[in-house]
Structure 1
Amino acid sequence: MPSDKIWLSGDCIKEDGIYIYNSGPENGTLIFNTYSGESPSFSDFNYYEPSMFSFLDEWYIAYDNVEFTWNNMQLKDRLSFVCEYGGLEDPYIKPVRTIGDANALITNIRNLSTVTDVSKLKVTFTSSDSRQSFSATNIRKTSSTSITVNIPPGTGVFNLTITTNGQQPQYTWSTIFRYEAPHIALVYLDSVAQGTLVSITGKNFGSNSNMVSNIALGNNLATCSGVQVIEDGFLTCTLSSTIDTFIYPINITVDSIFYTATKPAINNNNRYLSTFWGNSNVTGSSIYSHALVAEGLSGYLSYVEQSTQSMYKLLARYYAQLEWPRFWTSLAYDTTQGFYITTDGPNANKQVTNYYPAPPTQAPAYIYDFVAMTYNVSLASNPWGTVSEFFIDSPQFELDTYSVPTKGATIWMLVSKGGTYFSQYSFQFQGRTTPFARLDYYPPRKDMTFDAGYGGPFPIIVTTNLKNKNLTTTKYFSYSPPSIIHMSNLGPNGGVITVTGDNFYTNASLISIKVGNDTCVGVKFVLPHQEFTCTIPTPSGSLLGGRNVDVSLNGTKARAPTIFQYSRQIIRDEWCLDLNRW
């Protein structure tokens, strides 16, 4: 009997919730990020998928022939499968953000090895409706089968053609290129009434308002029309009617590329709210909430109170066809103090004074029922949905201390948290302060250029500003310690030795180097930061075996010692050899 589900390419084996293609030309690229909702090309998970059962290994993607959407399944499930032919012989280029990409990689270009002159290559993009075309610039050959090109900002789907001009034999390669699908991260919804101006932030909205179709909110007649693209990651629109049933999912199409947001953060009355019916126990719901990514916000398991009840109800209502529209919350009862508390978020373990309505006391865990609009008691192991909230936390760095070579460098630093699309970031280091500017959250990186120097640690202070509220975090950078790569030969009578390595800086007076117990004096630089000479007098002690070389820069020692072996001297004259030294 045929299965009602069909296996598709994709799994989240490497990282739970991050679905990657596992076959075909797209192998290894992102399909869907459960925590951010990003889907660069296409995904079609149901609103309560992919589920987050902690006790099931549902790592693989299947198509549901009954609900006509995707589902995540266990490997042991016996399903039908679908195969696709062709495409593996064509070049491949993954989708590019609508802001463009100066280093877009095109791979799998067969016979490219015969092209010796890159200037003979021409890379042309023609939109599928022939409305526009352009040629890539700055073509660089990176391997015998791949090139990188500069792709300008744009939207839509294109036919990509690579040709060789003036070369024999002449080749032509063709494939399909598309800009990334739009992504909705945050929706600013002060009211659900008709005529409300809605702000939406995310990425890949392009720059042409006419290319954005009316935005649909939930399974109702409400659309967000009159779209105005302010920037690639920010647009506004106006509610055509009052929303009284559903908000999720939110659908948007940019230049024929469709995207559906099943659980973006909704900003209402300065609260950032979200719900997800991805079944999990209370621990799994907390883990999921903390893993959520919405620009620079921090997620946590929340609870329903009077000020959020109406919005949470709208966010949960599109689950109304489910038999059990219940969601885990962070509400708990403190039996010692005799009042309710929230167990998660910035107010963790603090008293909740405006819960509504009052749940039973002394329960192990609480869920909220969006049909009865009341709290219920539940075993912590039961699988329910999740009520999440976000707050603005201090900015965070990937590392506590960054290492910089003494010659200076531009360091790629991952900076997360700290705000939203509208937040401004400023960085203070080495006596200078960068102007406040927005941070691109995809990914949230900051390229920081450090001058030449030595020592440390030195502070890096990042400050974020949103609505005149500042948050500050201090991390550090240190210059890398010196390291020796090579030392020239030296005989038993001592002499000048050349030391090659890294991070020696430029000031010879700061260099200290000893070979065994003997100090190498008269340091002189041959190459700044990389090579110097010094003189070792007649070495002391036995010359048998190697000697540790200790080098330091203003007291900062190398991480690992170098072993130096004196060369044996060949005796050509009638002199006596002191065998006690060898």
Structure 2
Amino acid sequence: MLMAICLVEGQPQLNKINNHYYQLFQNNLTLSAATQQCSNSPYQGMTGYLATFTYYEELAFLKTLPTAPIWISGSSDGDGNWQYSSGPESGLLYYNTLLDKCYTYCQFGDAVFDANRNGLVVSNGRFVPTSPTSTAYYICEWGGLSDPVVSQFDANNQILFTNLNDTSSFTATFVNYYDSSKTITCASVLIQTPNSVICKVASGNMKQGLFKVAVKAGASTYNIVSSAQPPWIISVENKMLETGGRIYIYVRNLYIDLFNKGDYKFLIPNIGANPVCNYESYNDVTGLLQCTPYDNINRWYPIVVQFQNVSTTSYRAAFCKSSSNITLID
């Protein structure tokens, strides 16, 4: 069950999913001032940082946030690449605007390419690029700075662990937060540096969703939470003019074990109906979906892929005519 609370000013509130604390501050500061204020505000012996949100349940925990803009972790290079700017995930890739690809949990709207809007606020559940000199409320987070950091599972069946104190021996077991029968283990482990390893997952065993992760690194043990990279719509191909015309959607990070059980939904808000999509072909992580057509293809965007509590919205996946060739990319 997802635990949610109303986050208001006062004492930091505990999220029982990851055992981190969060507090909303309803005084308006610039991004740098808010970041510094979190760093200068220890709680129960832990150093604070501007809150990082890496999966849906972490942000959903902060129920009934004010509609006013609130600073969260995130910075852009001005060319569409977003990364975390604070906390244990600092420097971890967040979102690529050009590819319309989210690497963790993110709810960006349409594209913003503006070097002056390289800070990030959350407002009405959406992530909004904002000038760092603007002022806004802010959320501080405590916990996890000494824990391993997991890069969300990628399309190559690899999971990167960093921030490890000892890599002389390493094991990790992933158990789905909602269904304990779904587990992932490392088929092999590759030591990258004295502080990082790659967990290689056997082909066909990668799974979507939120996971509790039990890590043993040397003599240290950790219990953390992580999730798979959300589904990514690569392209849409129009074959409606052909006999038995259809729309084809190429999607990555679906993981077929769950799709075959009907856990995914495709939504097209502008049409007000949901396309029926079936697999035409797939490998471990990439699916070619054949979908029922609609009269006006111009209304297909945005396209929403929904899995459990995760909703991925694509505003600008490549659109191809039937004569075009489609290349799948990472």
SS at 2:239 equivalent: coil
Within 5 A, what are the aligned runs for 1:415-494?
420-421=326-327, 441-442=329-330
The one-letter code sitting in structure 1 at the alignment partner of 2:299 is F
2:240/2:293 contact within 8 Å kept: no
Residue 107 of structure 1 is matched in structure 2 by 162
Asked if the contact 1:197/1:236 (under 8 Å) is kept, the reply is no
- Name which of 16, 22, 28 aligns with 2:79: 16
SS for the counterpart of 1:22 is coil
Matched with 1:176 is 225
- Whether contact under 8 Å (1:205, 1:235) holds in the other structure is no
Q: Residues 233 and 255 (structure 1 numbering): CA distance in 2 closer, same or farther, change over 3 Å?
A: farther
Listed as ranges, the gaps of 5+ residues in structure 1 are 272-418, 422-439, 443-582
For structure 1, which segment, 207-216 or 259-268, has the greater mean C-alpha deviation from structure 2 after superposition? 207-216
For 2:139, the equivalent position in structure 1 comes to 82
Aligned residues of 1:197 and 1:239 also touching (Cα < 8 A):
yes
Partners of 1:256 and 1:235 in 2: CA distance: 23
Aligned counterpart for 2:236 among listed residues 187, 201, 222: 187
**Structure 2 vs 1, CA of residues 75 and 236 (structure 1 numbering), >3 Å: closer, same or farther?**
same
Pair 1:31 & 2:94 matched: yes
> Counterpart of 2:272?
221
Deviation at 1:75, TM superposition (A): 1.7
Instruction: Tell me if the contact between 2:237 and 2:322 (Cα under 8 Å) persists in the aligned partners.
Output: no
1:196–1:85 CA distance, 2 compared to 1 (3 A): farther
CA distance in 1, matches of 2:286, 2:187: 25
Distance 1:140 1:46 in 2: 37
Deviation at 1:242, TM superposition (A): 4.7
The offset of 1:245, in angstroms, is 7.5
C-alpha separation in 2, matches of 1:127 and 1:81: 31
The CA distance in 1 between the partners of 2:312 and 2:277, in whole Å, is 19
Q: In the superposition, relative to structure 1, how do residues 256 and 29 fare at CA in structure 2: closer, same or farther (>3 Å)?
A: same
**Aligned-pair CA distance for 1:246:** 2.7
Q: Is the 8 A contact 2:71 2:137 kept in 1?
A: yes
Note closer, same or farther for the CA distance 1:97–1:147 as it changes in structure 2 (3 Å cut): closer
Q: Whole-Å Cα distance in 2 between the matches of residues 270 and 141 of structure 1?
A: 45
Match of 1:61 in 2: 120
Q: Which amino acid aligns with 1:130?
A: S
Letter in 2 for 1:27: S
Task: Say if 2:188 is the partner of 1:138.
Answer: yes
TM-score (norm 2): 0.67
Which residue does 2:107 correspond to in 1?
Answer: 44
* Contact residue 98 and residue 205 of structure 1 kept, 8 A: no
> Structure 2 vs 1, CA of residues 69 and 256 (structure 1 numbering), >3 Å: closer, same or farther?
closer
Cα distance in structure 1, aligned partners of 2:190 and 2:214: 16
The residue aligned with 1:155 is 207
Question: Match of 2:223, as an amino acid?
Answer: S
- 1: CA distance between counterparts of 2:232 and 2:127? 19
**C-alpha distance in 1, partners of 2:235/2:287?**
10
Deviation at 1:252, TM superposition (A): 0.9
CA–CA separation in structure 1 for the residues paired with 2:240 and 2:251: 20
Deviations 1:463-489 (A, max 9, x none): xxxxxxxxxxxxxxxxxxxxxxxxxxx
- Counterpart CA distance in 2 for 1:16 and 1:98 is 24
Change (3 A) 1:58 1:207: same
Q: CA deviation at 1:37?
A: 0.6
The equivalent of 1:290 in structure 2 is none
**Are the aligned partners of 2:174 and 2:211 in contact in 1 as well (CA < 8 Å)?**
yes
Tell me: CA distance 1:136–1:229, structure 2 relative to 1, closer, same or farther (3 Å).
Answer: farther
Equivalent pair of 2:249/2:291 in contact (CA under 8 Å): no
**Matching residue of 2:128:** 71
Q: What one-letter code is carried by the residue in structure 2 that aligns with 1:219?
A: N
Matches of 1:420 and 1:226, distance apart in 2: 19
Residues of 2 paired with 1:58 and 1:122: CA distance? 41
Query: Secondary structure of the residue that 2:260 maps to in structure 1?
Result: helix
Q: Tell me if structure 1 keeps the 8 A contact 2:239–2:248.
A: no
Tell me the CA shift for residue 238 of structure 1: 2.6
State whether structure 2 residue 313 is matched by structure 1 residue 249: no
Structure 2: tracts of 5 or more residues without a match? 1-25, 29-67
Aligned pairs (5 A) from 1:501-516: none
Q: Conserved in 2, the CA contact under 8 Å of 1:205 and 1:254? A: no
Local SS of the residue matching 2:267: strand
Larger radius of gyration: 1
Partner of 1:206: 255
Deviation at 1:204, TM superposition (A): 1.4
Matched, 1:234 2:298: no
- Scaled by the length of structure 1, what TM-score is found? 0.40
CA distance in 2, matches of 1:269, 1:86: 51
Tell me the C-alpha RMSD between the 2 structures.
3.0
2:278 and 2:223 mapped to 1: Cα distance?
35
CA–CA separation in structure 1 for the residues paired with 2:321 and 2:227? 34
Question: Which residue is equivalent to 2:21?
Answer: none
- Whether the aligned pair in 2 keeps the contact of 1:106 and 1:148 (CA below 8 Å) is yes
Structure 1 residues 196 and 7, CA gap change in structure 2 (3 angstroms): farther
Q: Give, in whole Å, the separation in 2 of the partners of 1:190 and 1:218.
A: 21
> Measured at CA, do residues 144 and 266 of structure 1 come closer, stay the same or move farther in structure 2, by a change above 3 Å?
closer
Q: Tell me, what secondary structure is at the counterpart of 1:58?
A: coil
> 2:59 is matched with which residue?
none
**Conserved 8 A contact 1:206-1:229:** no
Question: 1:267-282 counterparts in 2 under 5 A?
Answer: 267-268=320-321, 270=323
